[in-house]
Amino acid sequence: MQKLRKLNSFKVSTFFLLTIIFIKINNYALCFDLKGNFIQGGLLVGKLSVGDALYYNGKKIPIDETGEFIIGIGRKHPNFGNIKIVTTEKKEILKNIEIKQRKYNIQKINNLKKSKVTPPAEFYDRIKLENRRIKKAKATNVEYSHYHAGFIMPAEGILTGVYGSQRILNGIPKRPHYGIDIANKIGSPILAPSDGIVVMVEKDLYFSGGTIIISHGRGLTSSLLHLKKILVEPGSFIKKGELIGLMGDTGRATGSHLDWRMELRGVRIDPYLLIKKKE
Ligand SMILES: [Zn+2]
């Protein structure tokens, strides 16, 4: 029962769509809990018996010591996902889950100066190096499940950018926008969206300027971009709601705002879904 209570507290603060999948195969019954946002950009949390192995769309999913696991649903995830459970008795259980598809906003802008569309060649090495370091940082401190604390908006302001939208500049499709943008004046407080460990602090990255990356555990990370000031140190544990920095317009930002991005083991997820209240 203790395990169940843990999942419930997570649900209240975090998830609005609930599904319990009950699978009965021959005489083997498995009650398998899976909750979350069954939509592109969503995060699912589930629980299995300790010792069972889980694969999602053919990829092995790490399971913690209590049997809990998290799955990130990518921006272009197809309308079904495949779950395969291999029990300790080597029984295979297969299950398809339905994933709601989203329509993303596409914005076309033409007649822009070339340097505004593609970074100048002299920055390529720097960008490559920074990307490598970001990737490495995100893969650290995967122990613990700090995300149980639930999520809050890290800043107050106007929502000016959403997950998944894409811009096509001079006919060149740019990377989709994976974060949510919250605009407010320079110096506005930035709070920790959940508990976690600070895995990267950078004052001036090429694209994102002043940047904090937080590991919420099990490979789930938040990146907070374009900061004017950073008030935390790498390696420190931070609590949800703690003041960690000040809003800015550093890096390639068009104005003062916070870009909050979330990723789970290489899959970009939509932070907004985690704070959205049940309707
Ligand atoms: Zn943004």
Residues 44-76: tens digit of each pLDDT: 999 998 889 999 999 999 999 899 999 999 999
Inform me whether the pLDDT recorded for 187 exceeds 90. Answer: yes
63 CA distance to ligand 1 middle (Å): 32
Rounded Cα distance, 241 and 105, in Å: 31
Residue 192: Cβ within 10 Å count: 25
2 CA distance to ligand 1 middle (Å): 39
Q: Are residues 87 and 111 in the same domain?
A: no
Rounded Cα distance, 129 and 136, in Å: 11
259 CA distance to ligand 1 middle (Å): 5
264 CA distance to ligand 1 middle (Å): 18
Residue 245: Cβ within 10 Å count: 24
Rounded Cα distance, 156 and 279, in Å: 21
252 CA distance to ligand 1 middle (Å): 10
**pLDDT exceeding 70 applies to what percent of the chain?**
87
- Residue 211's DSSP bridge partners are 202
User: What's the angle, vertex CA 151, arms to CA 146 and CA 153, rounded to 5?
Assistant: 140
Ranges 16-30, 48-62, 168-182, 216-230: which has the least confidence: 16-30
Residue 80: Cβ within 10 Å count: 10
Question: What residues make up the domain containing 14?
Answer: 2-98
Rounded Cα distance, 102 and 213, in Å: 27
- Residue 74's DSSP bridge partners are none
Q: Are residues 117 and 193 in the same domain?
A: yes
Ranges 36-40, 102-106, 170-174: which has the least confidence: 170-174
Task: Retrieve residue 237's tokens.
Answer: 């544990």
Inform me whether the pLDDT recorded for 163 exceeds 90. Answer: yes
Identify residues whose C-beta is under 5 A from ligand 1, the ion. Answer: 161, 179, 181, 259
Q: In one letter, which amino acid is 78?
A: P
81 CA distance to ligand 1 middle (Å): 28
Q: Are residues 93 and 111 in the same domain?
A: no
Inform me whether the pLDDT recorded for 158 exceeds 50. Answer: yes
Rounded Cα distance, 144 and 132, in Å: 24
Nearest residue to 225 (alpha-carbon basis) of 257, 268, 177: 257
Domain count, the chain: 2
Torsion of CA 104, 269, 36, 87, to 10 degrees: 120
Q: Are residues 153 and 26 in the same domain?
A: no
How far CA 251 is from CA of 31, 90, 202, in Å, comes to 48, 51, 11
Give the domain-ending residue among 62, 81, 98.
Answer: 98
Which CATH number does the domain housing residue 76 bear?
2.60.40
256 CA distance to ligand 1 middle (Å): 11
Mean pLDDT value across the chain:
87
Q: Are residues 61 and 81 in the same domain?
A: yes
How long a stretch of residues is the chain? 279
148 Rama class: left (phi>0) / alpha (psi -120 to 50) / beta: alpha
pLDDT given at position 277: 62
174 CA distance to ligand 1 middle (Å): 13
266 CA distance to ligand 1 middle (Å): 18
Task: Retrieve residue 232's tokens.
Answer: 């935390």
Q: Are residues 155 and 91 in the same domain?
A: no
37 CA distance to ligand 1 middle (Å): 22
